[in-house]
Structure 1
Amino acid sequence: MNNLQNLLPLKFYEALERANINSTRQMVTLSIYDLKKSTNLCNEDILFIKKIVSDNCCPKSVTCDLLQADLRVTTGCDALDNILNGGYRRGTITEIYGESGCGKTQLAMQSALNNWQNGSVYICTEDLFPVKRFEQLKKGLLGYKVGIDCGKNIFVEHITEALDLLSCIRVRLPKLLVQHKPALVIIDSVAAPFRSETTNYIQRAEELREMAVTLIKIAQEYNFAVLCINQVSASFDENVELLPSLGLAWSNMISTRIWIKKTKASVDVKSFTWINEVTSKNEVYIREIHIMFSPDVIKCMIKFVITEIGMVAI
């Protein structure tokens, strides 16, 4: 009733109080006829009260033109940003999967580096954070200058156990988000802590769901994107080469799935005249990035190579 008292003029509040109507829910759900019978108010007054209460209770409406602003986080690759309509979507989970050595970690580090000004969180669950490769990739940043500390806003954590990962996401990550506002949180990889020798798949599914729900909740609250690297499993379907790990329990929680595929084709990096910093071998293998599903992106593919300065589309 206190809420109604703060919302309504005194005479309307007193009429509702006499009729024992003491919540905004009653005001919204009761019909005009029922309210008129209980309060002896006229139709115009009841419609006026309903409008005040409804405007106060309903969520704020946001039009599509307003949603365009600041909804994406750059991937660090212009070609990938273009097909993703600007990059990884904030408030959702994007998954990148592929076989070992296809370039998943390369893309994850490049994404973290290109968001260093806003900040990134990088959670390693398999190997130590590749500092040497990180220093190489810094040279490919637009406007890079020697002496600029591009790693000062990139927070790295090493975790190997599933329970520790859940604890980090539930406790330590929210504490960090109170003091810093990163644009991107990366888990590399999400599969490693959950692919142990345990056979309790029901418990694993529950832990995966809890982790995903918590990530989505805090991502929407603090307005950042979540990028999860996933491993692959063999497929028994002749038409499917590889499947992402963790099954449907995980697949149902992600919004966008990206597959990085190796190919046997190669290309001479020196043929790209804009890549002047590359000093290593000329021939590199071509990789493919496939958008498997996304709520607002069609299925498509781009080709790229990995160089000393990072991922370069061809």
Structure 2
Amino acid sequence: MYTMPTLKDLLPSKLHDVLERANICTIKEISILSINEMRKFTNLCNEDILLIKNIVCHHFCPKIITSDLLETDVRITTGCDALNDILKGGYRRGTITEVYGESGCGKTQLAMQSALNNWQKGSVLICTEDLFPVKRFEQLKKGLLTYNPDIDYGENIFVEHVTEAQDLLSCIRVRLPKLLTKHKPALIVIDSIAAPFRVEITNYIQRAEELREVAVTLLKIAKIFDLAILCINQVSASFNENVELLPSLGLAWSNMISTRIWIKKTTSCIDVRTITCDNTVKSKGEVYIREAHVMFAPDVPNSLIKFVITELGIIAI
């Protein structure tokens, strides 16, 4: 299990003891106190204080990412070319991407298609609601452009099923890092992130702490192992007349994600035979059109694509 180093681990023992006696025990205090203030509290010389501040800055301050780095960043495919285009290549490594929407809008379809299209690099699917839909997986793999019936596409796709928040925490803190160290997949999918936290509980403080720990741990994993994380989220009713639905888990969770995509049902229909040029699509008749909206992202504008769901997966129109 990966753990962040503590001040005691990083600082020379004599300096750490002096800080403890002065009751300066947190990274925040070391960061915001001036040199004069720390000298007053600890009687340390300027050189020692600068050494402490430099160590803390080096190990705990977030790395600066410029726009140049974002442009050259390697993306992870979503499995849908149109969605890749509006995301400038797909899901960004080192971040959490959230997909939310009402039941039956196509969230799980996108999650499975994303995992399947990254089968060569490897994917991890953590299911928190239903068991892994093996039958649907067998249908979707036939929609791959390079489909070969002799290839085992599930060989590099690892599936775990958990239902409780504590089980999810245990999975991502202990079992997941071991798997990532050995196999180095490119994508982690959690479907859904909300289910373990929407059970009937009364201790909302504990729920918030567990949710924050899950988010922080996922971000650490994404950074350390240089992979993308896709979290499927449920929706809640909105009291705002101008907003139809809101993603679950509130503002605390929203602050931890980098990209948010809303999948929305529409009342428009289309015949799938009008958008395909071969006879491999078996679904016939009209299907409802869905929309995928990029609600926010650090490096792409708000935009949308329209798509339908067929037996072979998501097809943009």
Q: TM-score range by the shorter chain?
A: 0.7 to 0.9
SS at match of 1:172: helix
In the alignment, which residue of structure 1 is the partner of 2:311? 308
User: In 1, Cα distance between the equivalents of 2:86 and 2:142?
Assistant: 25
Aligned positions of 1:6-25 closer than 5 A: 25=50
Look up the equivalent residue of 1:198 and give its one-letter code.
Answer: I
Question: Highest Rg: 1 or 2?
Answer: 1
In the alignment, which residue of structure 1 is the partner of 2:26? none
Match of residue 265, structure 1, among 265, 268, 271? 268
User: In 1, Cα distance between the equivalents of 2:65 and 2:130?
Assistant: 42
Match of residue 103, structure 2, among 100, 104, 120? 100
Match of residue 289, structure 1, among 264, 279, 292? 292
Task: Label 1:66 to 1:232 Cα distance change in 2 as closer, same or farther (>3 A).
Answer: closer
Match of residue 167, structure 2, among 164, 167, 176? 164
SS at match of 1:286: strand
Does the 8 Å contact 2:128/2:190 carry over to 1? Answer: yes
1:23 is displaced (CA, Å) by: 6.4
User: In 1, Cα distance between the equivalents of 2:126 and 2:276?
Assistant: 35
Task: Label 1:60 to 1:210 Cα distance change in 2 as closer, same or farther (>3 A).
Answer: closer
Does residue 111 (structure 1) correspond to residue 122 (structure 2)? The answer is: no
Q: Deviations over 1:39-80 (max 9, x none)?
A: xxxxxxxxxxxxxxxxxxx99998755554452100000000
Task: Label 1:27 to 1:164 Cα distance change in 2 as closer, same or farther (>3 A).
Answer: closer
Aligned positions of 1:57-206 closer than 5 A: 65=68, 67-206=70-209
Does the 8 Å contact 1:21/1:27 carry over to 2? Answer: no
1:280 is displaced (CA, Å) by: 2.2
- Kindly tell me the number of residue pairs found equivalent between the two proteins: 269
| Identity within the alignment, % | 74
Q: Deviations over 1:238-262 (max 9, x none)?
A: 1111111111121111111100000
In the alignment, which residue of structure 2 is the partner of 1:11? none
Normalised to the residue count of structure 2, the TM-score between the two structures is 0.79
User: In 1, Cα distance between the equivalents of 2:259 and 2:66?
Assistant: 23
Q: Deviations over 1:88-144 (max 9, x none)?
A: 011111000000000000000000000000000000000000100000000111211
User: In 2, Cα distance between the equivalents of 1:139 and 1:282?
Assistant: 20
Normalised to the residue count of structure 1, the TM-score between the two structures is 0.80
Q: Deviations over 1:216-270 (max 9, x none)?
A: 0111010000000000111111111111111112111111110000011100111
Q: Deviations over 1:164-188 (max 9, x none)?
A: 0000000000000110111100000
Task: Label 1:270 to 1:74 Cα distance change in 2 as closer, same or farther (>3 A).
Answer: same
Task: Label 1:26 to 1:221 Cα distance change in 2 as closer, same or farther (>3 A).
Answer: closer
Look up the equivalent residue of 1:140 and give its one-letter code.
Answer: G
1:279 is displaced (CA, Å) by: 1.6
SS at match of 2:174: helix
5+ residue gaps, structure 2: 1-44, 55-60
SS at match of 2:207: helix
SS at match of 1:94: strand
In the alignment, which residue of structure 1 is the partner of 2:226? 223
Does the 8 Å contact 1:161/1:193 carry over to 2? Answer: yes
- Aligned-residue CA RMSD (Å): 2.4
Match of residue 254, structure 1, among 252, 257, 278? 257
SS at match of 1:250: helix
Look up the equivalent residue of 1:73 and give its one-letter code.
Answer: I
Does the 8 Å contact 2:272/2:283 carry over to 1? Answer: no
Look up the equivalent residue of 1:288 and give its one-letter code.
Answer: E
User: In 1, Cα distance between the equivalents of 2:145 and 2:205?
Assistant: 46
Task: Label 1:63 to 1:250 Cα distance change in 2 as closer, same or farther (>3 A).
Answer: closer
User: In 1, Cα distance between the equivalents of 2:101 and 2:63?
Assistant: 40
Does the 8 Å contact 1:92/1:254 carry over to 2? Answer: yes
